Structure 1
């Protein structure tokens, strides 16, 4: 039997734990389930992402001076983080031998029998500068163009991008989004009624599979704060929980721009250490999608900050709805209930995993 060569387009180069780990999750799942497949992460270098994650961000724009100064201050942390991510990618990701950019990405047409774009926010108008290559516009054969659990942040496309968004997706062989709202948006804009909703790739692997990746414990008896951005309201929630449970606070932060004597800050660690920090925490407070995802996978006592009114963070809210998880959103109205029916959650995950397998079989085994 001839091997089917599958190329995955995703944000593997980002200095973002969720982006890299979801890439590994999809790669590993396909490897496990489809013996006749050779799957690679296409080592595509997006100009916008490359610029966003430069250790030092120089700019003549006076509105970006603070960002420039912060990047200089955090240079050593960013460099350490980059080294750790490069090491992880080299060890765990099946990267294409050739490195691609916008000028030579068309060369990959002769390399792969199938292209999958996703997961993560590959179709978000802002994340990668609306880079058309994450929409597989370089792929010549429409029958080779598929997505898996592609996502957006706000589930809104600016008016001046609607036509381009529609034209980029309308001729895909198959379309899969991560959120129902994203699927509805794609269906509305393209007129297609065949968009599938599939689970984030991090859920495609079992807790045992992630145990093989996670690093050893770094701390004991701690509450982990894993933020996207900085929210002092979230920190105050975490302090109250930690005090009540007599836990130290560990804050995983890429920006050492502030200090707090009650908090142990940790920066620059790689994806393996990130997984280990979640795995061994006694409690987790986060506002990140993948911080939430791995808290669920590991059956942790965790709480998610969704804004002051508790109604933001649509991607996390969608996750909670899918798994019927309640009382995990930080709000002045919610009591911190620590009981979750993990057996029920695991059944939901198993069902979604089967759904994902069925979808991937439909695009790989045809």
Structure 2
């Protein structure tokens, strides 16, 4: 089938890009032709990287971060070559639209108030794989998109809060599925072999980090004679701040001595590469991920001490358990995904035969 994916593949973070890439690889392995719908303008996309200049404070921030953000914009833009992008005029050739993954149903986020994420797209059949509503939203805000969502075949969603949302909003039962990044073996990702940083280092991939954790990271790195390397998000206290392509990001994780992250996809790719790590939980999606993968020993605790912090980082996690849990979930999710795709293909073939008969 010719399939268009509706997702923020062109965002300014690694997770959005890599989940889109994984979905593409999974579908192409099944023999489908995969395209990505360009749902926002180049100007809107550029704003993601540079921000607004609508106040003195934002203008100063814009100037101070311009060089880093310009590099980041070009790195991410170059990485889009791997996706076959289409616009509104090319939708007529598509047989199926897939909504997801990522937090495309988090209607509290301005970006995801675009009706296209809820099924308002001119394609014959629409389904959704692993969308998320984030940490929850006010149900009444979904009224305008209820009719569109009701027409969407939901294969499965990414988290329990979205399961509950779908049930309340649409009176539909749905199941949990893994994020697309976990649908395929890690060996399927075309990760560059070249090492980017020659020194031994601790990788930092996080938005906000508490002052206490900053001191712990610096102290740990000093004791272990490691450089601190922040990627994608700038942290002035780190030895290095770099921005690389999404696939180079995976090689940075691979070559790190250990990883500190607060993010969902940062955790996923750290686990997939069996790295020593510390995960600071700042969202429900990360908490859920660590629970079902059996990786809860890698997280912060109430009244966590520096001694506990270094113990977590120094001990190799139980990745045998992780792989066992992942294999079960991956098989279940893959089967559900393929089942729906096969059903849609059969329906379309039946429709074509009927059209041929009627003519």
Deviations, residues 259-317 of structure 1 (Å, cap 9, x unaligned): 33xx31223322122112111111111111111111011011011112xxxxx411111
Deviations, residues 176-232 of structure 1 (Å, cap 9, x unaligned): 211122112211221111x12111111123222235356533243211111124543
Give the deviation of 1:250 after TM superposition.
Answer: 1.2
- Out of 3, 8, 31, the position equivalent to 2:5 is 8
Q: Look up the match of 2:163.
A: 183
- Out of 106, 115, 127, the position equivalent to 1:146 is 127
Change (3 A) 1:363 1:47: farther
Give the deviation of 1:68 after TM superposition.
Answer: 2.9
Deviations, residues 138-166 of structure 1 (Å, cap 9, x unaligned): 2354xx11111111321x21354132353
Moved more, 276-285 or 157-166: 157-166
Q: Look up the match of 1:309.
A: none
Give the deviation of 1:77 after TM superposition.
Answer: 1.5
Contact kept in structure 1, 2:22 and 2:180, CA below 8 Å: yes
Deviations, residues 82-126 of structure 1 (Å, cap 9, x unaligned): 111121111x32x23x3x3xxxx3x45412111101111111120
Higher helix share: 2
Q: Look up the match of 1:323.
A: 293
Change (3 A) 1:348 1:324: same
Supply the distance in 1 between the matched residues of 2:61 and 2:327 (Cα, whole angstroms).
43
Supply the distance in 2 between the matched residues of 1:296 and 1:248 (Cα, whole angstroms).
21
Supply the distance in 1 between the matched residues of 2:43 and 2:219 (Cα, whole angstroms).
39
Kindly tell me the number of residue pairs found equivalent between the two proteins: 335
> Please, which runs of 5 or more residues in structure 1 have no aligned partner?
307-311
Supply the distance in 2 between the matched residues of 1:131 and 1:47 (Cα, whole angstroms).
16
Supply the distance in 2 between the matched residues of 1:127 and 1:229 (Cα, whole angstroms).
21
- Out of 230, 236, 241, the position equivalent to 1:259 is 236
Supply the distance in 2 between the matched residues of 1:229 and 1:48 (Cα, whole angstroms).
27
> Please, which runs of 5 or more residues in structure 2 have no aligned partner?
344-359
The alignment partner of 2:4 has SS state of: strand
- Is structure 2 residue 277 aligned with structure 1 residue 302? yes
Deviations, residues 310-334 of structure 1 (Å, cap 9, x unaligned): xx41111100111111221123337
Supply the distance in 2 between the matched residues of 1:176 and 1:132 (Cα, whole angstroms).
20
Contact kept in structure 2, 1:214 and 1:279, CA below 8 Å: no
Change (3 A) 1:73 1:131: same
Q: Look up the match of 1:241.
A: 220
Moved more, 128-137 or 112-121: 128-137
Contact kept in structure 2, 1:289 and 1:315, CA below 8 Å: yes
Supply the distance in 2 between the matched residues of 1:249 and 1:296 (Cα, whole angstroms).
20
Contact kept in structure 1, 2:103 and 2:134, CA below 8 Å: yes
- Out of 100, 117, 120, the position equivalent to 1:134 is 117
- Is structure 2 residue 121 aligned with structure 1 residue 121? no
Supply the distance in 2 between the matched residues of 1:271 and 1:215 (Cα, whole angstroms).
14
Moved more, 43-52 or 343-352: 43-52
Change (3 A) 1:8 1:214: farther
Contact kept in structure 2, 1:214 and 1:274, CA below 8 Å: no
Q: Which structure has the greater CA radius of gyration?
A: 2
Change (3 A) 1:75 1:305: same
The alignment partner of 1:45 has SS state of: coil
Q: Look up the match of 2:341.
A: 364
Q: Look up the match of 2:26.
A: 29
Moved more, 287-296 or 240-249: 240-249
